């Protein structure tokens, strides 16, 4: 079958954001739009020619069509072998796992993560490199540059590949392997965690759990691992069927979007453990009875308890967190005598530290936690890690959390999001903050005096790469912080995120509601940045 050469012209705005190129479905449906981006990947990653590519997505609307387009283009461009998940499905962490296990040259993952799906909602595409991790800046810039000069793409005039049966097929000269999307991932999880102990917990009869797959990609993964392999009762996985529009919901596991699950953990009859994951399966939310574990605390708790699981029995080498994530994990690293790192927002910044063996665990306040087992954050991994801890410690989630605070102190933490704000307002706010930075140290803001203030910049300790303007960071003399940054993942207007934290060493002060415990700092953050005058918003849209 001869490749067809199709003439095309560049589209504006094919620059990947925090996690790939995300646009409305209708944008992707324009003739040549997806093709241009895919060809830019293939043109800038010559190792794919003659190599192995992993392809799959979170099943959202347009996933199937996009997979077919990518398969035809991969074949036309001389990719030797493509591993594609059955049904065109792969969670983001499973894609990373498969790249590593099968020594692929990279993966094309179709997802807009936690953004809603459907014909009027969002679609996305990202490239993961041979280490299984999100493409670093150098690669995404090269891809973007290529999209700006593209003149042709290669495809095949072929019928659709049957994605619904596990089989090895050929398309042109390319070998297409339709694989079980869950098997490799489930095997990796079984090698890291004590499945017998977790199965024992479920078999004990005294432990009730629900996992909310939010009608997204983790449904099939959670059914196989939790119900089939670990013996959790049927019905443990809620909203298990992956739907193209995620059932009309917003597949983002947080207190707002998973409110029904949160309600199931409340009161004396509340579940012992509940968890949820997002559209593409890389995020996690952890809940116990009447207890929400912030992602920042979760990272710290996993780090402090890692030695209780088979996969991390030998201890951890170091921990990294994104800058706006609370400082709780730093305290654990210091107690363990291991390194800790503060990186910009975006999972890709952990890649070099993981590859170099400097860190074992990493996490972000945005409900992402992971380790060196692969190169993405991993929702179900975090859930299984917690299940292993619950089985090993024979304590409730709340007891584990409270004991952790008693030992290390509590980092009260909250994030306030102002979504869909006019870009000029949001950028004006950030620019005004930036201007005030030089004079801030020593100034009194609300009840505290500023110790340091900067626009966060990061130099990668492994390759020296530099990332600037990663968020305004105000640190007070008592260690409390206010951080402002604009989201890099939205598709409409700007989203302003304000992150607020303070440390409380005294256990008698550990049981407050974070909004109350941080009330003064929250008010200071709002007033100092002039959020209402600049954005017209009196209150945040989402509080986590
Ligand atoms: C994605 C990325 C994360 C990042 C998050 C928040 O989930 O994979 O690494 O932390 O987006 O990004 P944002 O720019 O919206 O705060
Ligand atoms: Zn995601």
What pLDDT does residue 491 have? 64
Q: Of 181, 200, 220, which residue constitutes the final position of a domain?
A: 181
Q: What is the structure's pLDDT at 332?
A: 98
- The complex's ipTM works out to 0.96
21 Cα: distance to centroid of ligand 1 (angstroms): 13
Ligand nearest to the CA of 320: 1
Do 255 and 387 share a domain, yes or no? yes
Shortest-distance atom of ligand 1 to CA 114: 7
| Contacts within 8 Å (CB) and 24+ apart, 350-355 | 350/133, 350/320, 350/375, 351/131, 351/133, 351/134, 351/136, 351/375, 352/136, 352/460, 352/461, 352/462, 352/463, 352/465, 353/318, 353/320, 353/461, 353/462, 354/133, 355/131, 355/462
For ligand 1, pick from 93, 368, 420 the residue to mutate: most ligand atoms within 8 Å of CB. 368
Whether the CB-CB separation of 85 and 167 falls below 8 Å is answered with no
Mark which of 146, 161, 181 sits at the end of a domain: 181
Ligand number nearest to the C-alpha of 489: 1
User: Rounded to two decimals, what is the model's pTM?
Assistant: 0.94
Question: Could you tell me if 99 and 126 lie in one domain?
Answer: yes
Most ligand 1 atoms within 8 A of CB, residue of 109, 283, 488, 493 to mutate: 488
In ligand 1, the atom with minimum distance to the C-alpha of 278 is 7
- Looking at all shown ligands, the one closest to residue 111's CA atom is 2
Whether the CB of 366 sits within 6 Å of ligand 1: yes
432 in the same domain as 385: no
Give the helix, strand, coil percentages of the chain, each rounded to 5: 35, 25, 40
User: Residue 502: which CATH number?
Assistant: 3.30.310.50
Can you tell me which atom of ligand 1 is nearest the CA of 283?
7
Residues 266 and 375 in one domain: yes
Q: Is 376 in the pocket of ligand 1 (CB under 6 A)?
A: no
Residue ranges making up the domain that contains 518? 410-543
| Ligand 1 center to 143 CA (angstroms) | 20
Q: What torsion do the CA atoms of 476, 478, 333, 500 make, to the nearest 10 degrees? A: -50
Contact 117, 403 (CB under 8 A): no
Which residue lies with its CA nearest to atom 16 of ligand 1?
A: 487
**For position 373, what pLDDT does the model report?**
98
Distance from residue 254's CA to the centre of ligand 1 (Å): 14
239 touches ligand 1 (CB under 6 Å): no
Both 387 and 430 in a single domain? no
Question: 462's torsion region: left (phi>0), alpha (psi -120 to 50) or beta?
Answer: alpha
Tell me, yes or no, whether 403 and 257 share the same domain. yes
Looking at the structure, tell me whether residues 321 and 372 fall in a common domain: yes
Residue 362, domain CATH: 3.40.120.10
Same domain, 334 and 354: yes
Asked if residue 497 has its Cβ within 6 Å of ligand 1, the reply is yes
In the reported structure, the alpha carbon of residue 151 is separated from the centroid of ligand 2 by a whole-number distance in angstroms of: 32
Answer yes or no: is the C-beta of 18 below 6 A from any ligand 1 atom: yes
Spatial distance between the Cα atoms of 187 and 195, rounded to a whole number of angstroms: 11
For residue 113, indicate whether it is catalytic. yes
Residues 488 and 464 reside in one and the same domain: yes
Does the beta carbon of 111 lie inside 6 Å of ligand 1? no
- pLDDT tens string, the chain, 544 residues long: the values are 889 999 999 999 999 887 799 999 999 999 999 999 999 999 999 999 999 999 999 999 999 999 999 999 999 999 999 999 999 999 999 999 999 999 999 999 999 998 999 999 999 999 999 999 999 888 999 999 999 999 999 999 999 999 999 999 999 999 999 999 999 999 999 999 999 999 999 999 899 999 999 999 999 999 999 999 999 999 999 999 999 999 998 899 988 889 999 999 999 999 999 999 999 999 999 999 999 999 999 999 999 999 999 999 999 999 999 999 999 999 999 999 999 999 999 998 999 999 999 999 999 999 999 999 999 999 999 999 999 999 999 999 999 999 999 999 999 999 999 999 999 999 999 999 999 999 999 999 999 999 999 999 999 999 999 999 999 999 999 999 999 999 987 667 899 999 999 999 999 999 999 999 999 999 999 999 999 999 999 999 989 8
211 and 108 in one domain? no
Could you identify the residue written with the tokens 């605070």? 405
| Structural domain total, the chain | 3
Quick check: CB of 368 below 6 Å from ligand 1? yes
Same-domain status, 189 and 119: no
What is the sign of the dihedral through the CA atoms of 189, 122, 286 and 360?
positive
The active-site residue, picked from 19, 113, 366, 371, is 113
User: Does residue 148 share a domain with residue 192?
Assistant: no
- 17 Cα nearest atom in ligand 1: 14
**What is the β-pairing status of strands 273-276 and 285-288?**
antiparallel
Last residue of a domain, one of 408, 423, 445: 408
Among 19, 470, 490, 544, which is best to mutate for testing ligand 1, by the most ligand atoms less than 8 A from CB? 19
Whether 265 lines ligand 1, by a CB cut-off of 6 Å, is no
Residue 416 makes CB contacts below 8 A (sequence gap 6+) with 497, 498, 500, 522, 525, 540, 542, 543
């Amino acid at each position: 079958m001869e490749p067809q050469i199709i003439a095309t012209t560049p589209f504006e705005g094919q620059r990947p954001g925090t996690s790939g190129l995300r646009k409305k479905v209708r944008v992707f449906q324009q003739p040549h739009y997806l093709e241009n981006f895919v060809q830019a990947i293939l043109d800038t990653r010559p190792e794919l020619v003659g190599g192995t590519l992993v392809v799959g997505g979170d099943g959202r609307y347009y996933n199937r069509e996009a997979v077919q387009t990518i398969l035809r283009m991969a074949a036309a461009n001389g990719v030797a072998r493509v591993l594609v998940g059955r049904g065109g499905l792969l969670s983001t962490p499973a894609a990373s796992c498969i790249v590593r296990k099968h020594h692929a040259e990279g993966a094309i993952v179709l997802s807009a993560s936690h953004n809603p799906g459907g014909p009027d909602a969002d679609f996305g595409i990202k490239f993961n490199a041979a280490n299984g991790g999100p493409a670093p800046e150098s690669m995404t810039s090269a891809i973007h540059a290529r999209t700006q000069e593209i003149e042709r793409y290669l495809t095949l005039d072929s019928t659709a590949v049957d994605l619904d049966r596990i089989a090895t097929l050929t398309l042109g000269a390319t070998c297409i392997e339709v694989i079980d999307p869950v098997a490799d991932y489930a095997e990796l999880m079984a090698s890291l965690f004590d499945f017998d102990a977790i199965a024992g917990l479920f078999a004990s009869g005294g432990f009730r759990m629900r996992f909310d797959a939010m009608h997204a990609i983790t449904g099939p993964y959670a059914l196989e691992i939790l119900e089939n392999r670990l013996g959790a009762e049927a019905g443990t996985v809620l909203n298990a069927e992956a739907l193209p529009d995620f059932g009309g919901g917003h597949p983002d596991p947080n207190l707002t979007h998973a409110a029904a699950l949160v309600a199931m953990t409340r009161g004396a009859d509340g579940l012992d453990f509940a968890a949820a994951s997002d559209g593409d399966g890389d995020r996690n939310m952890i809940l116990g009875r009447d207890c929400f574990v912030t992602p920042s605390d979760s990272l710290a708790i996993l780090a402090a308890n890692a030695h209780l699981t088979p996969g991390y029995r030998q201890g951890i080498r170091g921990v990294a967190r994104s800058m706006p994530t609370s400082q709780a994990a730093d305290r654990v690293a210091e107690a363990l005598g291991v390194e800790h790192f503060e990186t910009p927002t975006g999972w890709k910044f952990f890649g070099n530290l993981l590859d170099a063996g400097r860190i074992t665990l990493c996490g972000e306040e945005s409900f992402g936690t992971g380790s060196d087992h692969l190169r993405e954050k991993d929702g179900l991994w975090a859930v299984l890690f917690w299940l292993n801890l619950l089985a090993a410690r024979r304590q409730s989630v709340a007891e584990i959390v409270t004991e952790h605070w008693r030992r290390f102190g509590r980092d009260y933490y909250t994030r306030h999001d102002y979504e869909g704000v006019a870009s000029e307002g949001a950028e004006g706010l950030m620019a005004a903050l930036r201007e005030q930075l030089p004079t801030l140290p020593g100034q009194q803001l609300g009840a505290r005096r500023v110790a340091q203030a900067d626009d966060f910049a990061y130099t990668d300790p492994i390759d020296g790469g530099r990332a600037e303007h990663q968020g305004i960071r105000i640190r007070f003399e008592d260690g409390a912080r206010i951080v402002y940054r604009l989201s890099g993942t939205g598709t409409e207007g700007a989203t302003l995120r304000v992150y607020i934290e303070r440390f409380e060493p005294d256990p008698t002060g550990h049981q407050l509601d974070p909004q109350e415990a941080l009330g003064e700092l929250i008010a200071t953050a709002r007033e100092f940045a002039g959020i209402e005058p600049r954005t017209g918003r009196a209150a945040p849209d989402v509080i986590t």
